[in-house]
Structure 1
Amino acid sequence: MIEQNKARVREFIDRVLSSGEVSATGDFFHADMVEEVPLPGQGPGLAGLEATLTALRTAFPDMRWRVEEQIAEGDRVLTRFVWDGTHRGDFFGMPATNRAVSVWGMVVDRFEGSKIQSTRILMDTMSLMQQLGAAPG
């Protein structure tokens, strides 16, 4: 199961995050999934996750994610990633800057069966805000 879970996370990253097929999110997450560290304003469950992903894809429509490293044990997968994109739409009230960004982070996903039940994402949001000009460099 460990290798299958790692492959499922990579498939989600490729299909949903990089290719923008947000409607496929439910193929990877349970409807009552829990985001342990939600983004500001993120609602609960799958619907909240889909709304957040739609907002991210609107703000960074060309975003591409890549897996740098994965470690798995039992029902959990830790994925270290980098995503790149161009700020072309509203992002938490900030109008488009047309700046290119590169953001690193890690996510721990906990599986129940073949789908993710809980997730905890940590991203370098300070660097993101600096790259957008919203925080001092």
Structure 2
Amino acid sequence: MVSRRSLLGTGAAVSAASVAGATTGHAATAPKHHRQSTDANKQLVRDYAAQVFNGHQPELAVKFVTPDFVWHGGFMGTVSGVEGLVGLIGSWIESMPNLNAEELDILAEGDLVTVRYFVTATVRGSLLGIPADGKQLSWESGTIWRITDGKISEEWPFDDTASVLVQLGVLTSPSGG
């Protein structure tokens, strides 16, 4: 029988054992650290939604986002910086003062957090160029956030805008409903 020492040599055997021990130790702690950071990222997004969006305090965004924050809004365009975000959320709240997003699901992996929401609101001001009519709206929404150094640095919202337009009477649903 050939010993490990004779195959690897004394130094290699010690190094191999050290690497094996370090790898095992790292593997044992990595999931806990990863879980802690994803839990912290989810809590950041929940606090942002509660205070800024549902709390109707867009000025508090500065606590939650990086100075170079970017909102990637699809057909609504791109908004950069905290001031742009505050203005954007402020305009939604002005149009729909009871705007509320209820969290349905939340997932986190690495520096990304994804949330699926059920949003409700009553139109009290012009919305997407459509005059206010007091209609109550509801739709599903999803958002992906990138977290950088404990703050939100990017956001990609995915709203069911077609549903909103059908409810506003601007678009006809193919199903007729």
Q: Is the 8 A contact 1:88 1:98 kept in 2?
A: yes
- Corresponding residue for 2:155? 119
Contact 2:143–2:158 (CA<8 Å) still a contact in 1?
yes
TM-score, normalised relative to structure 1: 0.94
Instruction: Indicate if the aligned counterparts of 1:13 and 1:66 stay in contact, CA closer than 8 A.
Output: no
Once the two structures are superposed, what CA deviation does each residue of 1:72-125 show, in whole Å capped at 9, x if it has no partner?
001110111111010010112111011101111111101011101111110000
Out of 106-115 and 31-40, give the one that drifted further. 31-40
- The runs of at least 4 aligned residues of structure 1 exceeding 3 Å deviation read none
8 Å CA contact 2:122, 2:135 repeated in 1: yes
After superposition, residues 44-59 of structure 1 pair within 5 angstroms as: 44-59=80-95
Which among 35, 47, 54 is matched to residue 18 of structure 1?
A: 54
- One-letter code aligned to 1:119: E
Amino acid corresponding to residue 63 of structure 2 in structure 1: D
**What percent of counterpart residues are identical?**
26
Residue identity in the other structure for 1:30: T
Question: For residues 40 and 49 of structure 1, do their structure 2 counterparts lie closer, same or farther at Cα, with a shift above 3 Å needed?
Answer: same
Equivalent position SS for 2:51? helix
Q: Whose RCO is larger (CA < 8 A, sep 6+)? A: 1
Aligned length: 137
**Counterpart residue type for residue 26 of structure 1:** V
Tell me how far apart the structure 2 counterparts of residues 61 and 88 of structure 1 sit (CA, whole Å). Answer: 7
Residue identity matched to 1:105: S
Per-residue deviation, 1:36: 2.4
Against the structure 1 CA distance between its residues 96 and 42, is the aligned structure 2 distance closer, same or farther, given a 3 Å change threshold?
A: farther
**Inter-partner Cα distance in structure 1 for 2:92 and 2:46:** 18
**CA RMSD after TM alignment:** 1.4
Displacement of 1:40 after TM fit? 2.5
Unpaired segments ≥5 residues, structure 2: 1-36
Structure 1's unaligned 5+ residue stretches are none
Select the residue among 114, 122, 131 that pairs with 1:95: 131
CA separation in 2, counterparts of 1:38 and 1:29? 20
**Cα separation, 2, equivalents of 1:81 and 1:3:** 18
Higher strand share: 1
Secondary structure of 2:49's match?
helix
Question: Between Structure 1 and Structure 2, which shows a larger proportion of helix residues?
Answer: 2
